[in-house]
Amino acid sequence: MEIWEDVLDEEDRKRFLKSKMGGTRGFGKKPALLIVDMTYGFTDSKFRLGHTETGYPAVEATAHLLKKARDKKLPIFFTKPFSESHQSGIGLWKGGEEKSEEENTIVDQIIPMANEVILQKRRPSAFFGTSLVDMLIYYGIDCLIITGLTTSGCVRASVVDAFSYNYKVIVPEECVGDRSQISHKTSLMDIHMKYGDVLPLDEVTKWMEHAL
């Protein structure tokens, strides 16, 4: 049963069925792994935007996926926020404020290797204001496996932009998390209904093992 089943009523299910939303598009031939904002600021409850109960399990699941991606020599991209003291850099985030260096540090369990790309970003999407697209073109990528924090924020924004650039999108369910479970569930539902495939981590790693 999908994680979002308990937020749907019968009328919702009928409307999705009528609109032919959902289902799966499948994997591409040249995937890359994109890990969005798995920093201490979003993972750990000691920080304002962090939530340990959902953040660290998503990190652990992503660490498992990351090992598989490295074994298969997939291109791997990380994003992390960066803070500025002036308001034009911080922008119009509700609750936005300058973050500490520790908050913007990628957690140790998935620390990037020297040959892996770290993109710094100011806004939700991994694509906005970064060089991600031209790097994906360089590798001939047609599919993005997207993990990270938070599901309703930077992950969802990155998924929508990836879809908009005509990349196939795979979101391993255990590899994303949010401070709000209703936001997490409804965002995964929206992603699966319109933009990509939300799949169990085990299904993704099995595909990587046998298809790559």
- The residue type of 102 is E
Q: 3-state SS string over 36-94?
A: ECCEHHHHCCCCCCCCHHHHHHHHHHHHHHHHHHHHCCCCEEEEEECCCCCHHHHCCCC
**CA pair distance 143, 140, nearest whole angstrom:** 9
Going by C-alpha positions, the residue among 107, 23, 5 that lies closest to residue 66 is 107
Which residues are designated catalytic?
Answer: 154
CB neighbours of residue 84 within 10 Å: 12
Q: Compute the Cα dihedral for 128, 108, 177, 18 and give only its sign.
A: positive
**CA pair distance 20, 18, nearest whole angstrom:** 6
Place of tokens 């090992």: 67
